[in-house]
Structure 1
Amino acid sequence: MAQLEFGIDTFGDVTASPQSGETLSQAQVIRNVVAEAELADQLGINFFGIGEHHRPDFAVSSPEVILGAIAAKTKNIRLGSAVTVLSSDDPIRVFQRFSTLDAISNGRAEVILGRGSFIESFPLFGYDLNNYEELFEQKLELYSEIVNHDVVTWSGNWRPPLHNQKIFPPIEHGHLKTWIGVGGSPQSIARTVRYDMNLMLAIIGGNPERFLPYVELYRKLSAQSNKPVREIGVHSPGYIAETDTEARKQLFPSFKRIRDKIGAERGWPPATEEDFVHEIEHGSLYAGSPETVANKIVKTVKTLGLSRFQMKYSSGSNSHENMLKSIHLYATKVIPLVQKQLNHS
């Protein structure tokens, strides 16, 4: 198995002060995200991702700006989105923002493209949800042309055509590393193979093993298309404390708050503590002591044949201080435990 990479992700979840319990400003949350990324770099974590949202419970609407600030303060960690909602964006501007980030970071930029699980960006930027599928397909096609060719000629339904157009700034060395975020559909897997991109599985609920058929399909379609199997990663939520009891006690209130808020928008019933425990013990929530989380990651890595595991370390109002401790435990205890187990398997 290739060397496994370890990443962490955040949406800039709006957190609370551990002293007063008051909600922090979105501006302070953004500054805290920069500090969290600095710590991750110092501890040797491979990747730091920031997701895009346009709603009050997440502070980040422009990941690339924050990633640029992080790039100037870090040395080694790779930086990218988690995800960029391509359907409501402009592929040219997406490439330009990330090629600029790549220049600032001296070649450390990545992008994860997706349709997103929230739809606020569509009305915000004037896109019709009835065109949901067509927008993503055509914009991904244009993005692929941009990353693979110095001069682009393209035409579609949603913007004027391009004729022998150069896009600036170009990537200085090689290509802009690109993943497609997949929530679980055969069509998304086929699209990832067609555009010859890396596969990032967004597993945010349920048993991770249920995604094995998608991994097998990705490998099968790649072989049928005479294309190499690119990297396969997983993005899942997690939280680490010294003990299982401590982790559950600290995480459950914020887990329930954010799950109930989103659930009310989507018609889900309120989350119970039994739901929470089930997601930890049988689902895709990597929460607990370093040993518990490491064992769970190893099982997922072996089952799906991963080259990267990314843990979304932020969860609703859980404090910045708690997240810093979780990041520290992830880097100093979980990662070495996972590497040790994989090296002896």
Structure 2
Amino acid sequence: MNHTETLHAGGAVASAQRPAFEIGHMTFLELTADRATGAVPTARQRVRDTIEQARLADQVGLDLFGVGEHHRTDFVGSAPAVVLAAAAAATESIRLTSSVTVLSSDDPVRVWEQFATLDQLSGGRAEIIAGRGSYTESFPLFGYDLADYADLFREKLDLLLAIRDRNPLTWAGRLRPALRDADIGPRAVQEELPIWVGVGGTRASAISTGRLGLPMALALLLGPIAQHLETVDLYRAAAAEAGHDPAALRTSINLHGYVGRTSQEARDTMYPHFARGMIDNNHQRGRGVGIPRVAFDAQASPNAGLLVGSPQEVIDKLMTYHHLYGVDRALVQLGFGGMPQRDVLSTIELLGTEVAPVLRREVAAPAEDAA
């Protein structure tokens, strides 16, 4: 079992003392042309590389491995639960999460079945980050009307939480057929399979997530490091108003990054691939936006969002995120834009061996001092 869980004889998993701060690697399995040759990796090679990344992340002590969802041929992540199942077989301790599951265009029953099965395969290591979807190609693909964008998510999240809460289940909504005494299996190994809500910064999303008392995963691609302060305040205020203890609610920051031996090495390694990925893979096909080097360097500065630099710089910035927002988790997209596998593996190793242990100690120290 991993260091944050204990498996009981009856098969249920109960939370033990988890690290003061959790950190992990996520990927969207994008297919980006090599900058030198123009060659695009095969889907098979991209998946194999991803499982190797998960295996190393587990070995170096990272807490999380995440796979995002896209439904285009320049991504291989249309079925995150399948990739995470392969990662489960290649790892022992690391937790496995979607980042995110586009719940609005999926069926909550099927989502539950997939991730409860993943929980069984992994011995209680599965999580879900449910989101509305900033990319919308899946809506017409599965026959959903974008006019129902917000209502679809609200209703489907309600059903997913109901499935987690009880079985058999009787449930009725407006946009999906009702269920009557439905027996939905398998059940999860964990007593309560974690369901986070992915929030890009909208007020309504933060408020609704707080009212439900669910953990919130904030996404920050580019911009000032403090841009989500109002979002977090609204989330916690809504939680308190609904009777939840804001101090007990977990929050994470999901962001792009790279760790190098030095600041210059990190920026020089990350920039050309990140810039290529922003053009090739960002938003809808053909509408990506480039980023000049001067803008990239500005975003890597202490007061902006990108998590790129030496191990100490990365520790310092994550501590800033922790102090600003109270986050106790970071999920970092490493290697975006076709970065060579050797460089991705190098940064995973540095994140696990040089960043994570120090970060956990620094976050834990104030609480120990207060005690």
TM-score range, shorter chain: over 0.9
Match runs of 1:4-15 below 5 Å: 4-15=21-32
Pairing partner for 2:299 from 266, 279, 301: 279
Partner of 1:290: 311
Pairing partner for 2:328 from 307, 314, 320: 307
Judging changes above 3 Å, is the alpha-carbon distance between structure 1 residues 290 and 46 closer, same or farther for their aligned structure 2 residues? same
Residue pair 2:260, 2:350 contacting (<8 A) in 1 also: yes
Partner of 2:5: none
What amino acid sits opposite 1:199 in the alignment?
Answer: M
> What are the Cα deviations for residues 247-304 of structure 1, in whole angstroms up to 9, with x where unaligned?
1111111111121333786867532111111111132110111111111111111111
Residue pair 1:15, 1:29 contacting (<8 A) in 2 also: no
Aligned length: 345
Give the fraction of aligned pairs with identical amino acids, expressed as a percent.
Answer: 37
Q: What is the DSSP-based 3-state SS (H/G/I as helix, E as strand, rest coil) of the residue aligned with 2:277?
A: helix
Q: Distance in 2 between matches of 1:75 and 1:341?
A: 26
Judging changes above 3 Å, is the alpha-carbon distance between structure 1 residues 173 and 291 closer, same or farther for their aligned structure 2 residues? closer
Q: Distance in 2 between matches of 1:132 and 1:313?
A: 29
Q: Once the 2 structures are TM-superposed, how far is the Cα of residue 158 of structure 1 from its aligned partner?
A: 2.1
Residue pair 1:9, 1:314 contacting (<8 A) in 2 also: no
Partner of 2:174: 157
Q: Distance in 1 between matches of 2:48 and 2:132?
A: 27
Runs of 4+ in 1 over 4 A off after TM superposition: 15-21, 263-269
Residue pair 2:32, 2:277 contacting (<8 A) in 1 also: no
> Does 1:243 find its partner at 2:262?
yes
Q: Distance in 1 between matches of 2:264 and 2:167?
A: 54
> What are the Cα deviations for residues 18-37 of structure 1, in whole angstroms up to 9, with x where unaligned?
99663210111011101100
Partner of 2:58: 41
Q: Once the 2 structures are TM-superposed, how far is the Cα of residue 58 of structure 1 from its aligned partner?
A: 2.0
Q: Distance in 2 between matches of 1:256 and 1:73?
A: 31
Q: What is the DSSP-based 3-state SS (H/G/I as helix, E as strand, rest coil) of the residue aligned with 1:34?
A: helix
Q: Distance in 2 between matches of 1:51 and 1:193?
A: 23
Q: Distance in 2 between matches of 1:302 and 1:163?
A: 46
Pairing partner for 1:257 from 244, 259, 276: 276
Q: Distance in 2 between matches of 1:279 and 1:144?
A: 37
Judging changes above 3 Å, is the alpha-carbon distance between structure 1 residues 318 and 2 closer, same or farther for their aligned structure 2 residues? closer
What amino acid sits opposite 2:294 in the alignment?
Answer: E
Pairing partner for 1:88 from 81, 102, 105: 105
Q: Distance in 1 between matches of 2:28 and 2:102?
A: 13
Match runs of 1:162-181 below 5 Å: 162-181=179-198
Q: CA RMSD in A?
A: 2.1
Q: Distance in 1 between matches of 2:93 and 2:205?
A: 31
Q: Distance in 2 between matches of 1:14 and 1:193?
A: 35
Pairing partner for 2:154 from 116, 124, 137: 137
Q: Distance in 2 between matches of 1:264 and 1:32?
A: 25
Judging changes above 3 Å, is the alpha-carbon distance between structure 1 residues 343 and 193 closer, same or farther for their aligned structure 2 residues? closer
Partner of 2:83: 66
Residue pair 2:21, 2:359 contacting (<8 A) in 1 also: no
Q: Distance in 2 between matches of 1:151 and 1:237?
A: 41
Which 5+ residue runs of structure 1 have no aligned equivalent?
Answer: none
Partner of 2:93: 76
Pairing partner for 1:204 from 211, 221, 234: 221
Residue pair 1:11, 1:314 contacting (<8 A) in 2 also: no
Residue pair 1:260, 1:269 contacting (<8 A) in 2 also: yes
Q: Once the 2 structures are TM-superposed, how far is the Cα of residue 205 of structure 1 from its aligned partner?
A: 1.5
What's the TM-score once normalised by structure 1's chain length? 0.94
Q: Which moved more, 1:145-154 or 1:82-91?
A: 145-154
> Does 1:270 find its partner at 2:270?
no
Q: Once the 2 structures are TM-superposed, how far is the Cα of residue 89 of structure 1 from its aligned partner?
A: 0.3
Q: Which moved more, 1:5-14 or 1:187-196?
A: 187-196
Q: Distance in 1 between matches of 2:209 and 2:286?
A: 28
Q: Once the 2 structures are TM-superposed, how far is the Cα of residue 342 of structure 1 from its aligned partner?
A: 3.2
What's the TM-score once normalised by structure 2's chain length? 0.88
> Does 1:329 find its partner at 2:350?
yes
> Does 1:51 find its partner at 2:68?
yes
Q: Distance in 1 between matches of 2:365 and 2:121?
A: 39
